[in-house]
Amino acid sequence: MVHQVLYRALVSTKWLAESIRTGKLGPGLRVLDASWYSPGTREARKEYLERHVPGASFFDIEECRDTESPYEMMLPSETGFANYVGRLGISNHTHVVVYDGDHLGSFYAPRVWWMFRVFGHRTVSVLNGGFRNWLKEGHPVTSEPSCPEPAVFKATLDRSLLKTYEQVLENLESKRFQLVDSRSQGRFLGTEPEPDAFGLDSGHIHGSVNMPFMNFLTEDGFEKSPEELRALFQTKKVDLSQPLIATCRKGVTACHVALAAYLCGKPDVAVYDGSWSEWFRRAPPETRVSQGKSGKA
């Protein structure tokens, strides 16, 4: 096994506040607000315009995706991603810090962290504790929108961190990868509905293990310690020395599994981008497991 130096996946609110105070923001350090909320609940862009971390740009995950795909939140092309983040002043030499405003402390930020990594950018971190704790600790906010100078970003897709429907289907036979689903237990089992979903029953891919992503976070919204995270994987009999694919509903909270494993020293967790949204619509019925009325018992 090749040992590599892992870039810090988390930065503290204190570190970021000090970096802003000492004028470190610029081409070498950019901050992104990656908030997204279910329609009809909160308005992410509106909240960004009202208050955000000074110097932060709004990363619109609805814009930075494959809008032609019938599935939810699929990755954009290399060119699409490069052009989008380049407009936010991010080059291949920029340290990117991502946060969101979710009450859990972190929800969409790990997805954007993974997106940068899957497009070949390693100097990216999640703000530990998120905007929730930034506010709680009294750090400065602003309503002034960020207008960074555009930069050139070259994206190179790292296919080792991304899995397709065909690869996950093949894995049901080869069982080379462990498969971890990060949704809540009820949605995983098929006993609770998928929220805001039309024509999408709940349930899971045959052979997957359930690790709800909320369990990786403390009640205060911070990432748990590597020791606590390792214990969670051990409890579920997930071997971090072996290949692992993370899945969920649309490839978002699966990135929490990738982040948690990374903090335990495993940087190579792949995410099934289409996740349950694609699997439910494409996979053979016998590969879909559900305790709900319409599923396989």
Percent of the chain at pLDDT > 70 equals 97
pLDDT at residue 3 greater than cutoff 50? no
pLDDT at residue 5 greater than cutoff 70? no
Boundary-marking domain end, from 91, 122, 137: 137
Q: Which residues contact 43 (CB under 8 A, 6 or more apart)?
A: 37
Q: Residue 39: its pLDDT value, please?
A: 87
Element (H, E) at 78: helix 78-87
13/32 Cα distance (integer angstroms): 14
What order of strands is seen across the sheet that includes strand 162-163? 162-163, 270-272, 244-247, 178-181, 209-210
Q: Residue 40: its pLDDT value, please?
A: 87
pLDDT at residue 297 greater than cutoff 80? no
pLDDT at residue 295 greater than cutoff 50? no
Does 248 reside within a domain?
yes
Task: Say which CATH number the domain at 178 has.
Answer: 3.40.250.10
Does 194 reside within a domain?
yes
Does 123 reside within a domain?
yes
Each residue's pLDDT tens digit, 13-26: 999 999 999 999 99
Element (H, E) at 82: helix 78-87
Verify that 23 and 126 share a domain, yes or no.
yes
Average pLDDT over residues 266-293: 94
pLDDT at residue 89 greater than cutoff 80? yes
Of the pLDDT bands very low, low, confident and very high (cuts 50, 70, 90), residue 194 is very high
Does 90 reside within a domain?
yes
Q: Residue 72: its pLDDT value, please?
A: 84
45/31 Cα distance (integer angstroms): 15
Does 22 reside within a domain?
yes
Does 34 reside within a domain?
yes
Verify that 191 and 281 share a domain, yes or no.
yes
* DSSP codes, 97-157: EEE---TTS-SSHHHHHHHHHHTT---EEEETTHHHHHHHTT---B-PPP-PPP-------
Does 1 reside within a domain?
no
Verify that 172 and 228 share a domain, yes or no.
yes
Verify that 273 and 178 share a domain, yes or no.
yes
pLDDT at residue 80 greater than cutoff 70? yes
- CA distances in angstroms from 135 to 5, 100, 264, listed in the order given: 32, 12, 28
Element (H, E) at 48: helix 44-50
Query: What would the two tokens of residue 190 be?
Result: 């098929």
The number of folded domains in the chain is 2
Each residue's pLDDT tens digit, 206-237: 999 999 999 999 999 999 999 999 999 999 99
Of the pLDDT bands very low, low, confident and very high (cuts 50, 70, 90), residue 73 is confident
Of the pLDDT bands very low, low, confident and very high (cuts 50, 70, 90), residue 296 is very low
pLDDT at residue 199 greater than cutoff 50? yes
Verify that 171 and 213 share a domain, yes or no.
yes
Verify that 16 and 98 share a domain, yes or no.
yes
Average pLDDT over residues 39-57: 96
Residue 246 lies in domain: 162-289
Verify that 127 and 234 share a domain, yes or no.
no
pLDDT at residue 256 greater than cutoff 80? yes
Verify that 224 and 278 share a domain, yes or no.
yes
Verify that 124 and 173 share a domain, yes or no.
no
Verify that 103 and 189 share a domain, yes or no.
no
CA angle centred on 116, ends 110 and 122, rounded to 5°: 100
Q: Between residues 294 and 135, which one has the greater pLDDT? A: 135
Q: Residue 230: its pLDDT value, please?
A: 98
Provide the annotated active-site residues.
Answer: 248
Q: Residue 293: its pLDDT value, please?
A: 58
Q: Residue 7: its pLDDT value, please?
A: 84
Verify that 132 and 188 share a domain, yes or no.
no
Q: Residue 197: its pLDDT value, please?
A: 81
Does 143 reside within a domain?
no
pTM of structure: 0.95
Verify that 183 and 278 share a domain, yes or no.
yes
